[in-house]
Structure 1
Amino acid sequence: MSTYQHLLAAIALDEHGEGVARRAQALAHQFGARLSIVHVVEYIPLETGEALMAAPPDLSMQLQRQAETRLRELCARNALSVTALRVTSGGVAAEIHRAARELGADLIVVGHHPRHGLAALFSHTEEDVVQRAHCDVLTVCLSTP
């Protein structure tokens, strides 16, 4: 089996996302691979009284621009050398899969929060990424023991 050539880190714009990005950067360096980073702005449902609607396109674009600025700051703050930065909106797992296919990633790196009790019964993004991935997936544990 050959080593990885292109890693895709799917990150949140918080301290956990920074940890996932740093781990992915270290792996990319170890494999001599390219690193791309994706952040997905989830659709924001708006309640209009009788129905739920998606956020207006101008609000979605504003959120994407803000996220892109924050993502660039995160990369600069952590001295991340990346091939591509991508900020998109939609369903998180679906957009991660789309980015991985379009960029030709052969390893997706995502964060994972261990869950207990009732929270363990519900579907979570990282589980969906693992279940539907066309390539390998590395989950980075985000909680401390």
Structure 2
Amino acid sequence: MTSPYRKVLVAIDCSDESAEVLSRAAGVQEGTDGELHLIHVIEPLALAYGADVPMDVTDLQSGLVKQARDTALEYAGHYRIPESRIHVELGSIEKTILDKADDIGADLIVVGSHTRSGLALLLGSTARGLVPGAHCDVLAVKMDKRKKES
């Protein structure tokens, strides 16, 4: 039986956990000739901190984009994802992921999901925020600290 997922968009945050998310996405597509796409979204500093950023952050953001692209290329290399399928973009995280999924005709979005408590639970997660607006399936890979400790 082949996977129904021909185009998979993997959203990574460029942390160490990105490898686990990417591994799970690759496993979903194993044995198919489908496409893996990788996306990392950087929220513009003005969007993250309000429009009143007291300095020009253009150089800082350019540096963040370059660093994220280098990291994404490194992860992509382990799974032979061509550079044309690596997307590092500035924007609102959820909206940018959903827009890219629509642009490429993704059948599945794969994203890491953390067990949250307290304030983080109230604010929600990217994984939870993607589901209502997605035109395809969303796979949330649970990132559990207890797994790392064992």
TM over 0.5: yes
Match of 2:40 in 1: 39
Unaligned runs of 5+ in 2: none
Q: Which residue of 1 aligns with 2:113?
A: 112
Residues 55 and 18 of structure 1: is their aligned pair in 2 closer, same or farther, counting only changes over 3 Å?
farther
Deviation per CA, 1:2-40: give whole Å up to 9, x if none.
Answer: 711111100110111111011111112144421101001
Deviation (angstroms), 1:52: 3.6
- Please give the TM-score of this superposition, normalised by the length of structure 1: 0.84
Map of 1:16 onto structure 2:
17
Q: Map residues 55-74 of structure 1 onto 2, 5 A cutoff.
A: 56-74=57-75
Which has more strand, going by share of residues? 1
Counterpart CA distance in 2 for 1:94 and 1:134 is 12
**Amino acid aligned to 2:93:** V
Per the normalisation by structure 2, the TM-score is 0.81
| Per-residue deviation, 1:127 | 1.0
Partner SS, residue 109 of structure 1: strand
- Compute the displacement of 1:123 (Å): 2.6
Q: Structure 2 vs 1, CA of residues 125 and 9 (structure 1 numbering), >3 Å: closer, same or farther? A: same
**Cα shift at 1:132:** 1.3
Residues of 1 paired with 2:91 and 2:123: CA distance? 20
Read off the aligned partner of 1:36 and give its amino acid letter. H
Paired AA for residue 63 in structure 1: L
Partner Cα distance (1:74, 1:29) in 2: 17
* AA in 2 matched with 1:40: V
What secondary structure, in the 3-state scheme, does the structure 1 residue paired with 2:44 have?
Answer: coil
State whether residues 113 and 140 of structure 2, in contact with CA within 8 Å, keep that contact through their aligned partners in structure 1.
Answer: yes
Q: How does 1:67-86 map to 2 (within 5 A)?
A: 67-76=68-77, 79-82=78-81, 84-86=85-87
Give percent identity, aligned residues only. 32
CA offset digits 1:63-118 (Å, max 9, x no partner): 21221111111222xx2122511000111111100110111101000000011244
How many matched pairs?
141
More moved, 113-122 vs 65-74: 113-122
CA RMSD of aligned residues (A): 2.6
Structure 1: gaps (5+ residues): none
